[in-house]
Structure 1
Amino acid sequence: MITIHQLKVFVAVAECGSTSAAARALHLSQPAISLIVRNLESELGAELFIRNPPRGLAITPFGRGKLEEARTLLSQAEMFGEPQDAGNQLRGQLTLGYFTTLGPFYVPRLIRRLRERMPKVEVQLREGDLGAVGRMLDTGQVELAITYDLGMGDQPRTQLLRKCRFYAALPLEHPLARQESVSLAELAQEPFIQIDLPMSREFLMSPFWHHQLEPRIAYRTTSLEMVRGMVAHGLGVSILITRPASELTYDGERIVCRPISDEMPVQNLVLAQSHHFALTPVAAAVMAEIRDLFSQEDLVP
C-alpha cells in the first residue's frame, strides 16, 4: 500500500533533483530516500526516475504524470487532516514564483494581503530570471508565477494582469530629458546601459534591431537598480519596462523617464499556473487575490 510518506519523498526527490538533496530537505538519510523511491516504483510497477550517476536523476514521463497526482493527493491529505476552525479558513501550502525585477513591486504587498486574509495558508517564494521562472513552471517547482509572458516552455495557463510599455531612462541633465518623448534613433547614439538578464536582454534590444539600430553598449548589469543608478550618474541611457514609483535611485539621485516615440511592442505581465498542478481551493483563492491586487489603480509600474 502506498503511503503519504512515500509520496512526500517522491515529490521532494522530483523537486530537489537528487536523493541527496531530498535527504537534506527531509532530514533523512540518502539510503533511506533511495529505498523509499525504489519501493514506490515497485508498488507502481514502473520507474519514476532515470538514474544517471554523473547527472543525478531525471524524472520519466510516467513519473511526471504521477508527480501531479502526488501533489494533489498531498494537498488533499493536508486539508483533510487539519481541524476546521470557526472561521472556515483555508489551510494549505502554495509555491509562488516571480520574475526577479517584478518581485519588489508586487510580492511584499501580496504576501501581506494573504497573511491578513488567509493566515492558515503558507506561501513559499521562488525567484528567478524569465528563463528560470519558465523552467520552474515547466518542471512543477512552482504552482503559480508572476512574470512576463516570455520563456514559458510548455505554455502554462496564463491570465493577463496588465500591459506594460517601454520607456526611456535618462539622466536628469541630459538634453533628451527636456523632450516630451525620445526616439530609438536618438537613444542609439548615446552610451547605453543594458539590463543583462536572459530573455530580458534580447527583448529589450529587439525594438532597436527591428529598426536596424545597434545601441552603443557602455555597461551591462543584471540589476534593474544598477541600470537606474548608472543612468542617474550620467553614464548612459537605457530603455526599460519595469518602472518604480519613484524616479529616485538608491543613493538619492534622480532619473527622468520619457515615452518612446517609435511604435513599440507591449509586454504582457501575467499570472501563470503550472500544468503540473490541479487547481486547489488554496490556489484558486490566491489567484483571485492576485487578480484583485492588480486591479488597483495605484499599483506600479
Structure 2
Amino acid sequence: MDVAGLEAFIQIAEFGSFRRAAEAMRLSQTALSHRIRKLEEDVGVILFQRTTRSLSLTRAGQDFFPEARDALMRLSSLYDNLKREGRQAQERVSVGCLGSLGEHFLPEVLREFRQRHPGVSVTVFDEPAAALRERVASGEAQFALTILGAQLWTQKSRPLFEEDFVAAVPAGHPLAERQELTWADLVGHPLARVATTTSHGFMLSESLGTFGERLDWAYEVQRVNMAACFVASGIAITVLPRLAIPPSTELRVIPITAPLIRRTVGIIARDGVQLPRPALQLQRMLLQAIARHPKTAAARAAKVQPGASDKGTTEASSSRPST
C-alpha cells in the first residue's frame, strides 16, 4: 500500500490546492505531483481533474476520499499506540524473583539501577517458582531469578549456582554445637517445613522419599520467614536452602550430609524474545551482583561448569537417606 501517496491525496483533497498541500507537507510541488501520479498508476484510475485554473476530484476520487481518510486515520492511531507501547516498554522493567534470593541481591542492584535509570520503574514479582514460570510465560515478567528444573518448553534458562539445603537450629538446642548433621540426627526433633506445594517443600519431599516419614514435621508453613521465626523462638528446627535463612544470633546454620540435597538457581526468560535495553541492563547488573556475592561465588565455581547451555535445566538431586 502506497501510504505516502495516500497522505498526499488526502492533503490535496482537503486543501484543494497542490501548492498549499505541498507547503503543509513541506514538499516541493514536483515531489507532491510525483506521489499523486504514482498513486494513480497503482490504482489505475484518475483521482484529480486538473486544469490551469482549477483542481477537483473525479468521481472515483470523490468515492475514494472518505474511505482513504478514515483508513489513514486508523493506521495513524495504530502506529501511535505502538510507539506508546514501545516507549512504555523502555520505561518499565518487570522481573520475577524468589523472595529468599531477592533479599540478598535485589536491594543493592535496584539502588544502582535507579541511579543509572531514574526514569525507569521496576515491578518485582516475589512469588514461588511455579508462579514465576507463569509470569515469564505470559510476558508479565521479562525474566526471573528462580529455581531451575521444570521450565516450560517456551522458556530458556541459564544456571548460575547450586545451593545446599541446611538445617537452621535454635541457638540453645542440643544439636547447635554440631559442625554437621545427618538426616538421621534430625529424627525425634520437632521440625518446621515449608509446604510441599512450594518448590522448597516439594524438592525436600521428593529427595527424602519414604525417609521423610520418620521425621517429626510438627509444623507446616507457607513461607520461609515463618519457618525461620519458629526456629528463632526455639520451638522447631527447619531445613531450607542456605540463602533462604535470614541472619540471626538466635539460630545456628549447620550443613546436612549423607546425603546433600541441592537446588540449582538460575535465570529464566522467554525463548526467542529480545529483552528491552533497560531489562537487559538490569539482568546484567543482577548477574554481576550474584557473581560477587561470597555465598554464591564458591558454589558456582564448584557446581556449575563453564559453558553450560542456556537450554540446560537441573533439578534438586540426591540419593535418599538410608532408613
TM-score range, shorter chain: 0.5 to 0.7
8 A Cα contact 2:143 2:270, kept in partner: yes
Which residue of 2 is the match for residue 102 of structure 1?
101
Distance 1:169 1:75 in 2: 50
Checking the alignment, whether the CA contact within 8 Å between 1:143 and 1:277 is kept in structure 2 is no
Q: Offset of 1:187 from its aligned partner?
A: 1.2
**Contact persistence 1:208–1:214 (CA under 8 A):** no
The answer as to whether partners of 2:105 and 2:286 remain within 8 angstroms in 1 is: no
Q: Which consecutive unaligned segments of at least 5 residues does structure 2 have?
A: 2-73, 298-323
Equivalences for 1:138-287 in 2 at 5 Å? 138-154=137-153, 156-196=155-195, 197-209=197-209, 211=211, 214-243=214-243, 247-248=247-248, 254-275=250-271, 277-287=273-283
TM-score by length of 1: 0.63
Q: What percentage of residue pairs aligned between the two structures are identical?
A: 18
Question: Any idea what the Cα deviations from partners look like across 1:230-269, whole Å, max 9, x if unmatched?
Answer: 1122212111004368632xxxx60111011212232111
Deviations 1:92-141 (A, max 9, x none): 32211112332222222221121122323322222211111111112222
- For 1:254 and 1:139, how far apart are their aligned partners in 2? 41
TM (norm. structure 2) is 0.59
The 8 Å contact of residues 200 and 240 in structure 2, kept in 1 or not, is answered as: no
Code of the residue aligned with 1:256 in structure 2: it is R
Alignment check: 8 A CA contact 1:192 1:219 kept = yes
Q: Paired residue for 2:112?
A: 113
- Give the Cα–Cα distance (whole angstroms) in 2 for the partners of residues 189 and 140 of structure 1: 46
RMSD: 3.0
In 2, Cα distance between equivalents of 1:199 and 1:245: 15
The alignment of Structure 1 onto Structure 2 pairs a total of residues equal to 218
Is the alpha carbon distance of 1:276 and 1:100 closer, same or farther for their aligned partners in structure 2, counting shifts above 3 Å? farther
- Of Structure 1 and Structure 2, which has the larger fraction of its residues in helix? 2
Cα contact 2:194–2:220 (8 A) shared by 1: yes
Give how far 1:213 is off.
5.1
8 A Cα contact 1:189 1:215, kept in partner:
yes
Q: Against the structure 1 CA distance between its residues 245 and 188, is the aligned structure 2 distance closer, same or farther, given a 3 Å change threshold?
A: closer
Larger Rg: 2
2:100–2:243 contact (8 Å) kept in structure 1:
no
Alpha-carbon distance, 1:284 to partner:
2.4
